Amino acid sequence: MERENSPNERLAAWKRDPGSSAILTDIDGTLAPIVPTPDMSEVPADLKEILGRLSGEYLLVAGISGRKSEDARKLIGLEDIVYFGNHGFEILRDGEVEMIPEAQPYLEKIQELESHAREELEPQGAFIEEKGITASIHFRNVSKEIGGRCVEFVKAEGERLGLRITVGRGVVEARPPIQADKGSATRRLVREYGPKRAMFLGDDTTDLDAFRALEGLRDEGVLEEILRIGVKSDEGPPEIASEADIVVDGVEGVGEILEALL
């Protein structure tokens, strides 16, 4: 399914020069299998071990997640990688969390939407995840009809409060209406750490922003080489496969890519 050369051939340059290469990855659905609610999620021990080894070899290893950055760190359990959380609204490194200042004025509106969602949607079985500057309402564990209600409710509340709403695999999310996503997070990390090449691994709609950011950085001459690793799933958007340079099956396929980078 991968284009042009085999994955091992395409990864050869990265292995030869890890000190100039960045590995950026989504977490849920990519490093951790999708589960009914986020609190059930778990990154397999062998992937944690591989990521730990990669962080000692490569210029940068970063998890870019829709979760709070601190929750992302708890899930992976490694101190030596960078965590960009809440879809690009906050970064955690060296033990410190930094929120982008433009997002702060929207915190009360996010909390209001979250409170209304708890009143309206939790009794119907939805799971509301506490995330601070963004809100995530998970409907994977409810019927299709109730899932539709969750999406419509959050869209209506988001419009009323002036928030940005996105829909992913079993989740609808509200964010401040400013430019912060996995694409902006990718751009910031590349600009700060200065790799020659960078890859991103992802499975869902929000990961396409990172794919497209890498393409833009290559076209601008900031990066010499990019790799977009798409994790195929029945629920993921078709663009994950069509825009990827390499397509893999699930978390197991991600593990094979990461192991090949060692």
Which sequence positions are flagged as catalytic?
A: 26
Measured on CA atoms in the order 103, 22, 254, 79, is the torsion positive or negative? negative
Short-list 110, 217, 208, CA closest to 158 = 110
> What is the β-pairing status of strands 135-138 and 197-202?
unpaired
Short-list 189, 192, 123, CA closest to 153 = 123
Short-list 40, 24, 59, CA closest to 196 = 59
Beta bridge pairs of residue 240: none
* Alpha carbons 166 and 36: distance in angstroms, whole number: 19
Residues near 184 by beta carbon (within 8 Å), at least 6 away in sequence: 88, 209, 213
Q: Tell me if 213 sits within 8 A of 184, measured CB to CB.
A: yes
* Alpha carbons 203 and 169: distance in angstroms, whole number: 9
Q: Please report, for the chain, how many H helices and E strands are present, in that order.
A: 9, 12
Short-list 163, 176, 167, 175, CA closest to 147 = 167
Token pair, residue 171, equals: 């989740």
CA torsion, points 172, 177, 178, 183, in degrees to nearest 10? 20
